[in-house]
Amino acid sequence: MKKTTIASLISLAFTSHAFAVENINLDDVTVSANRFERKESETTYASEIHTAKEIEASGAATLYDYLAQQSSVNLGSYFGNKASPLFNLRGYGTDNGNQNVVITVDGQRLNSIDGIPQLLGAIPLGNIDRIEISKGSGSVIYGDGATAGVIQIYTKNKSGVTVSTSFGNFGQQNHYINAGISEQYFDLSASLAHDSNDGFSDADKTGHRDEFTGNTQSIKLKIKPIDNLRLIASATSSRNDIRYPNSLTKAQFNSDPIQNGKPNNVYTHQSLNTDQWKVGVEYNITSRIKIAATHYREDKVSEYGSKTNFVNSSNELTLSYDDEMLSAITGMQLFDGNRDGGSDITSKNSRAVFINTEYRPTWLTSALTLSAGFRNEKVKYAYAPTTGNLLDDTVSLDAWDIGANYRFSSEASAFWNYNKAYLAPNIDNFFGYDAFYNTVFNGFIKPQESKTFNIGLNHVVTNNRLKATLFYANLDNEIYLDKSVAYFGTNTNLDKSHKYGLELQDSFKITDNLSTSVIYNYTRAIVDKETREDASVISGKDLPSAPKHTIVANLNYKFLGNASVNLNQTWRSATYASEDFLNNASQRQEHYESTNIALNYQYKNMLFFTSINNLFEHENSIQIRDNTIYPVDFVRTLRVGMKADF
């Protein structure tokens, strides 16, 4: 993509407001990353919000498709697995990006103690009410891993029945049913979802293609026995079957990305199953004081060559206060995670306390909000092999955040915050493989720490909502995989690194029926200093797999009263291959590009929809090293379906 094209897309964010004719209530968006609901323009941190209305208009069938095509998160298939995808937010790269983002669903943390990315495939898109992306903040409440930010997903409190079904080429199927009832004393909802495809690459020697099947069931219950008391329970079960395609050489990819690069090898097969549940209670002691307690548990089994069992459980107790001048929440969080690898049991346990506050000096001005918070978390690791000595390690980590928001008028506000965050290594960071593919314990590594400064501007008028954010982050001991010696590499730390960038978001309503939106990110991620195991020195080099430019542009047009079409263009610039820390490999990661179109037609209680992803069949890929390329999102996919509400 030429620079002139980039400039023209960015300029769309600043188009004149002269043609607007109605108030589109762009500021009627609330966020709750700090556990208190606020208008987006009044927060002291950078945020990005996606509503159920925007999700439906996009035409996306899965949460992966929506985040990849409509958000600032650089999302990519995990070498063929879209259920647990790769993440890159704010320049942390796709290799470890998922570790640097905390993802929650209705408050339940999806981050585990293993290296498998968060299981987004277990979240049906039709069940989502709102997605909040908080950037460079969230470490006080969410703790370990909230270095790049937090993605919070909130599901719908369903009343009635929704049924949706769609089919597409390559055997694509996506079906879900969501039913619920809301009464005076309780809310109950349940859902069933199925997502599958027959694969996009040629079959291996056993006849299998890179197919995927995912089935998810969930139930959510809220009981309100008295006005001030809420009892909460929910459970989700997900079963996923995944086959990963083989890598291709550059010549093979250029010739035909659909081919099986190693026809004598079978595709790697993984079974990934999770069972999650939570119970909780909330009690309003007074109209301003609330106490809440929640217990979470996840049992996960991954069969990927060998079978590994993970059990994660956590408990949270919070006390909150909210009035016109002061909002505060304090609490404690306990987490216990265990990995049973057959020949060892390794655990990661943490104990944390935190307090987060907002102060509005209304006696001085109603335009100012100040925020401050602090967290301390003690993390203990233990490695217990079936033969050999028990090894353990304990670290104490702190996070803090200070910020402010000042509203110049009803249309404009500015915010800033300074955040300290940390990432305690997950269990898989301590393990590698020997020459015979046996799992080997490599030892404990240092926690990662970051300090991020954000400053931003909100400008909201009747037809336009603009947000601009500048950020700068300094990091110590950024976790990465050093591939300079062993073929499989060793997880270790970069001594010093930093990141900075500009983030722009703009939504603009041109007429009653025509609207646009643009997200543009400019990000630099630099390795300042690191001496690798082979004694090579990295200094002043770009972090691989972290593109400088990201653009997400949408044009939505309503016609015939009940019909709408949405045109989307997603583009990410080329970068260095994920193992190219010296920035000198002959092959680079090519840019990512996808043009997507969706058409919706509403007839009474029924919505008919069709979509085309990657309209121009851009051949996207993940480049690991020279001649090791995994095709992803490289074919044109079509889908047609319907949704009915009763």
pTM, two decimal places: 0.91
- Please, is 135 exposed, middle or buried when counting C-beta atoms within 10 Å of its C-beta (0-12, 13-18, 19+)? buried
pLDDT value at 318 more than 90: yes
In whole angstroms, what is the distance from residue 588 CA to residue 575 CA?
6
What pLDDT is recorded for position 112?
84
pLDDT tens-digit series, residues 142-188: 999 999 999 999 998 888 999 999 999 999 999 999 999 999 899 99
- What is the overall mean pLDDT for the chain? 90
Tokens of 67: 């985040």
Residue 207 CB neighbour total at 10 angstroms? 7
What pLDDT is recorded for position 344?
79
pLDDT value at 438 more than 80: no
In whole angstroms, what is the distance from residue 607 CA to residue 162 CA?
11
Q: What is the mean pLDDT of residues 7-29?
A: 41
Closest CA to 423 of 451, 450, 392: 450
Calculate Rg over the CA atoms of the chain.
24
Q: What is the mean pLDDT of residues 61-90?
A: 90
In whole angstroms, what is the distance from residue 497 CA to residue 477 CA?
8
pLDDT tens-digit series, residues 247-306: 999 999 999 999 998 888 899 999 999 999 999 999 999 999 999 999 999 999 999 877
Amino acid at 312: N
Residues shown for the chain: 646
Closest CA to 28 of 468, 460, 511, 488: 460
In whole angstroms, what is the distance from residue 600 CA to residue 134 CA?
30
Specify the DSSP element, H or E, that contains 183. Answer: none
Using pLDDT thresholds of 50, 70 and 90, give the confidence band for residue 494.
very high
In whole angstroms, what is the distance from residue 326 CA to residue 362 CA?
10
Using pLDDT thresholds of 50, 70 and 90, give the confidence band for residue 332.
very high
Amino acid at 359: Y
What pLDDT is recorded for position 181?
94
pLDDT value at 11 more than 60: no
Number of domains in the chain: 1
pLDDT value at 6 more than 70: no
Among all chains, which residue has been given the structure tokens 């009892």? 231
**Residue 410: which residues within 8 A CB-CB, separation 6 or more?**
none
User: ∠ at Cα 118 (496, 641), nearest 5°?
Assistant: 135
SS3 label, residue 231: strand
Residue numbers of the domain that contains 348: 3-645
Residue 299 CB neighbour total at 10 angstroms? 15
**Residue 584: which residues within 8 A CB-CB, separation 6 or more?**
none
Among all chains, which residue has been given the structure tokens 């407001």? 17
Report CA-CA distances (Å) from 152 to 31, 35, 68, 509: 10, 11, 16, 27
In whole angstroms, what is the distance from residue 601 CA to residue 606 CA?
8
Residue 616 CB neighbour total at 10 angstroms? 9
pLDDT tens-digit series, residues 92-122: 999 889 999 999 999 889 998 887 889 898 8
In whole angstroms, what is the distance from residue 300 CA to residue 112 CA?
9
In this structure, what CATH number is given to the domain that contains residue 161? 2.40.170.20
Closest CA to 348 of 425, 423, 294: 425
CA 216 to chain centre: 19
pLDDT tens-digit series, residues 176-221: 999 999 998 999 999 999 999 999 999 999 999 999 999 999 999 9
What pLDDT is recorded for position 445?
87
How many Cα neighbours within 13 Å face the side chain of 177? 4
